[in-house]
Structure 1
Amino acid sequence: MRGTPERQSPIFHTFNVEDLIEPDHPLRAIKRMVDRALSDMSRTFNAAYSDVGRPGVPPETLLKALLLQCLYTVRSERELCRRLKTDLLFRWFLDLQPSDEVFDHAVFSHNRERLAEHGITPKFFDTVVKQALALGLTSDEHFTVDGTLIQSHASLKSLKRIEREERRKDDDPPSGGRNASVDFKGEKRANATHRSTTDPEAKLYKKGDGVGAFLCHSAHALSENRHGLIVAVRVEEANGTAERVSALRMLDHAERRHGVRPWTLGADKGYDAGPFLVELEKRWIEPHIAIKSGRIDPMSERSDQGTWARWFVRQEQRKAGFRTSQRRRKLVEEFFGWVK
């Protein structure tokens, strides 16, 4: 027979949220790993918070909420808090009961400085990486490094001459509304002379010939080659050497924090530089790096140690291991695709 909708809602509901989550849901495995990592960070959390005062939103909840935002591509923290009000899956992941009140989105802004000051977010990342290494989910021999440009939210209109901006610091802000017109006609803009007033750390940089420069930051990642798991990340100032400098810093961090010493390192042609290859050899890392086209003459008068290193890597390109590294290094590009 035909059923009819129930017009009157019951006052109380009796159910277990755990029973509503599918047994094979991907978030179950993620939650177990994340909860284990956060429990290991209890001392770090204690150092970041006072012993007196009104209890705030647990840092574990904030970090797990930010993880949900990344996994489900929630566009803003405000939207994330809206979704927490109606999504039982999200509440279950954050250990919130259906009757619990959802915190305001401003909590993220209030705690962001605290998380950065005590290095909580990178420690959380390193703790998860440590678990993956202990479980044998990653390679401890073959790795890849890559970088990309992350465009700043700052507008090109925010660029001001550095000396002019220094003089204006003590003056009233210029009028003209939130989106005042700016005329750069006849004025050459460069990082040495101009700086963004809304994002001073962003630098003008262009990705290649025929592409206009834009304000951006340089993001870098070190990944293992078995599954493409990221073991180290850095964000640096965008310049011509950021990729290679960051690569060495991430390698040093991976060894210092996790005891990882790669046998091979794959990378694209952006890392083809003699001094960088020499530094890898000093670390006993075999460079599986794409070499730019052109003649390399290690016997010339201007030849140095870097020239010999580039010549040697080019000879290695014919080997199967080198080709495998170049093929597996594409995995790290998936990470940058998710970030963007």
Structure 2
Amino acid sequence: MRGPDTFTEGLFTMRRLDDFVPADHPLRRIRVMVNEVLAKMDGLFSRMYEADIKGGRPSIAPEKLLRAMLLQILFSVRSERQLMEQTQYNMLFRWFIGLAMDDAVWVPTVFSKNRQRLIEHDAVVAFFNEVLETAENKDWLSGEHFSVDGTLIQAWAGHKSFVRKDGDDDGGSGGDFKGQRRSNETHKSKTDPDSKLYRKGKTASELRYMGHTLPNCSTKNP
């Protein structure tokens, strides 16, 4: 018998976010390892926010920031704006970051500002080093080979957002850039300032992120 195309939503739910994540999902094991690393970085996080101890609005927890940034890499999310959008409705993302179903998702500009603090205090580098040390202590690494990999990730920004840093309008409007010289030294995207203008092979230049992986070891099956 054909089922009815109806939608009935209950007023309450007794399920947790954890119930929606499969028991064998790889992010479960990753999250355990990440949380172990973040616990070791508690001292660094405390020093980062010493200046704010006298008051002010609470900032985004650095642990949540780093988990969100890791998701952006693992799932190749093109921009922080899109990352925030997906976190709004993606229960897997909320669970991994540590946001409850009713928690508000951060405004992209607020997320970017808080992320910059992590970068300024080398917290991202410390996080990577702690992950590497943890993997080595668990004997998940081997130094049998050296491999290099590079890739370009397309940014969630168009050519119209790539404007001059000095505020000049390039003498044109409507996104007509024919005959104009534009480069990363003189221009930047107003919607995604971290993206750069790159060309891959014979393709046209696009706003992208450049990523490099330089491991000197291989991962064992833990």
TM-score (norm 1): 0.49
**Whole-Å separation in 1 of the counterparts to 2:119 and 2:177:** 35
Q: Which residue of 2 aligns with 1:196?
A: 185
Equivalent pairs counted in the alignment come to 206
User: Does the CA contact (< 8 Å) of 1:81 and 1:104 recur in 2?
Assistant: yes
1:175 aligns with 171
* 1:64-213 matches, cutoff 5 A: 64-139=67-142, 141-146=143-148, 148=150, 150=152, 174-177=170-173, 179-183=175-179, 196-198=185-187
Offset of residue 111 of structure 1: 2.0
| Amino acid paired to 1:31 | R
Find the structure with the greater CA-based Rg.
1
CA RMSD of aligned residues (A): 4.2
Could you say if the C-alpha distance between residues 79 and 133 of structure 1 is closer, same or farther in structure 2, counting changes exceeding 3 Å? same
Q: Which has the higher contact order (CA 8 A, sep 6+)?
A: 2
Residues 183 and 144 of structure 1: is their aligned pair in 2 closer, same or farther, counting only changes over 3 Å?
same
Whole-angstrom CA distance in 2 between matches of 1:205 and 1:62:
30
Moved more, 59-68 or 45-54: 45-54
**Which residue of structure 1 lines up, in the alignment, with residue 40 of structure 2?**
40
Q: Which residue of 2 aligns with 1:227?
A: 219
**1:26 maps to which residue?**
26
Aligned residues: percent identity? 32
The answer for unaligned runs of 5 or more in structure 2 is 189-195
Describe the SS at the equivalent of 2:148: strand
Task: Determine if contact 1:206/1:212 at 8 Å carries over to the other structure.
Answer: yes
Cα distance per residue 1:232-271 (max 9 Å; x no partner) = xxxxxxxxxxxxxxxxxxxxxxxxxxxxxxxxxxxxxxxx
Q: Relative to 1, partners in 2 of residues 1:102 and 1:213: Cα closer, same or farther, differing over 3 Å?
A: closer
1:279-310: CA deviation from partner (whole Å, max 9, x where unpaired): xxxxxxxxxxxxxxxxxxxxxxxxxxxxxxxx
In structure 2, relative to structure 1, the CA distance for the partners of 1:182 and 1:7 (3 Å cut) is closer
C-alpha spacing 1:195/1:99, structure 2 compared with 1 (3 Å): closer
Whole-angstrom distance in 1 between the partners of 2:185 and 2:43? 38
Structure 2 counterpart of 1:25, which letter? Answer: H
User: Cα–Cα, structure 1 residues 203 and 91, in superposed 2: closer, same or farther, change >3 Å?
Assistant: closer
